[in-house]
Amino acid sequence: MHKIVLIPGDGIGPEVSAATRKIIEATGVAIDWYVEEAGAHVFEKTGELVPDSVYRAIDKYRIALKGPITTPVGTGFKSINVSLRQKYHLYANVRPVKSYPGMARNQSVDLVIFRENTEDLYAGREEQISPDEVHGIKVITRKASEDIARAAFQYARTNGRRQVTAVHKANIMKLADGLFLDAVRTVSKEYPEIDYNEVIVDNMCMQLVMYPEKYDVLVSENLYGDILSDLSAGLVGGLGLVPGANIGKDCAIFEAVHGSAPDIAGQGKANPIALTLSAAMMLEYLKEHTAASRIRNAVGQALKKKENLTPDLNGNGTTETLTEAIIHEL
């Protein structure tokens, strides 16, 4: 019996996590869920965004499936998502982006993005110099850069991938991105069988839109990795389809790339596939390989029928119709 913390989150989080839980349960894998509330609705009730019980549960079970949590823009509290990644040192954010027939603008996208998850401009070090001047400090360390590089190369080796591309802006940020690149180059030497190359981030955005098939595994800093993830999601049919995992040494939190989607929350039209595929990554992590591949196949089959699809995929279906279709395919 696997013991897993389930954080439904807010916005569309509760809708897509309920759907995902149903789909996992349909595979027959035995799971004890420890449901923990966190997010805007908890704050309204208790004045706390993340109750201590959430941390206690993750401390104990070391694995969580998490829905999105809203973060206010400009003012207010620090992102809970970023806090969790930092607290549990979940240094590798892994996001596979693959085209499904009929969904994608480009049929040959098969990328895995490795985004450094603990530092960079997300370290939260901003200084008010004067009312009219703010400094945001970009933190890059050799250790974190080598760790994310090793995660990317090791993944490439284990999964028979041919190439790793480091994405950077070291032409401008010579010290910060220079250190990142230097660390990735050092690690690349441990993997002579994998092709290694480097692309500057702005060019990378154009390359991905025009020639995504040329790229395989990408490794980048936190901010560029965040942006490249959503850009790549756009290539394959949107954020409703792209899963993710935050992985540390002995703890992991699985969550989709997308956020709480306030524009569609509570309307029953959120696409549950991104979180469902994140749960498939979780099942791989738990060595439930058969259940994971059954889920991926069922998703692929369900996507073939237009009547199942949610509006983000140009369908007239709902979270429920798509969830039932996936369960039917299982």
Task: Name the residues that contact ligand NAI, by CB under 6 A.
Answer: 12, 16, 68-71, 81, 239-240, 255, 258-264, 270-271, 274, 312
Catalytic member of 3, 60, 78, 202: 202
Q: Does 36 bind Mg ion (CB under 5 A)?
A: no
Long-range Cβ contact pairs of 323-329 (< 8 A, separation 24 or more): 323/19, 323/22, 323/23, 323/272, 326/23, 326/272, 326/273, 326/276, 326/295, 326/298, 326/299, 326/302, 327/22, 327/23, 327/26, 327/298, 328/302, 329/297, 329/298, 329/299, 329/301, 329/302
Q: At closest approach, how far in Å is the CB of 235 from Mg ion?
A: 15
Among candidate residues 155, 169, 196, 269, the one labeled active-site is 169
Nearest Cα residue to 82 out of 73, 74, 91: 91
| Distance separating alpha carbons of residues 156 and 187, to the nearest angstrom | 13
Q: Which residue's CB is nearer to ligand NAI, number 79 or number 297?
A: 79
| Assigned token pair, 187 | 């690690």
Supply 144's token pair.
């974190």
In whole angstroms, how close is the CB of 320 to Mg ion at the nearest point? Answer: 26
Active site residue 169: yes
**Region near Mg ion per CB under 5 A, out of 10-18, 70-78, 153-161, 224-232:** 224-232
221 binds, among ligand NAI, Mg ion, none (CB under 5 to 8 A by kind): none
Q: Which is nearer to Mg ion, 71 or 323 (CB)?
A: 71
Q: Which of ligand NAI, Mg ion, none is residue 263 near (CB under 5 to 8 Å by kind)?
A: ligand NAI
Q: Nearest Cα to 16, choosing from 229, 254, 226?
A: 254
The item of ligand NAI, Mg ion, none sharing an interface with residue 255, based on CB under 5 to 8 Å by kind, is ligand NAI
Is residue 221 part of the contact set for Mg ion (CB under 5 A)? no
Task: Give me the phi and psi of 267, to 5 degrees please.
Answer: -105, 0
Q: Which residue is nearest to ligand NAI (CB)?
A: 259
Give the nearer residue to Mg ion in terms of CB position, either 278 or 321. Answer: 278
In whole angstroms, the minimum distance from the beta carbon of 190 to ligand NAI comes to: 31
Shortest CB 237 distance to ligand NAI, Å = 10
**250 is an active site residue:** no
Catalytically annotated residues: 122, 169, 202, 226
Note the residues at the interface with Mg ion (CB under 5 A). Answer: 226
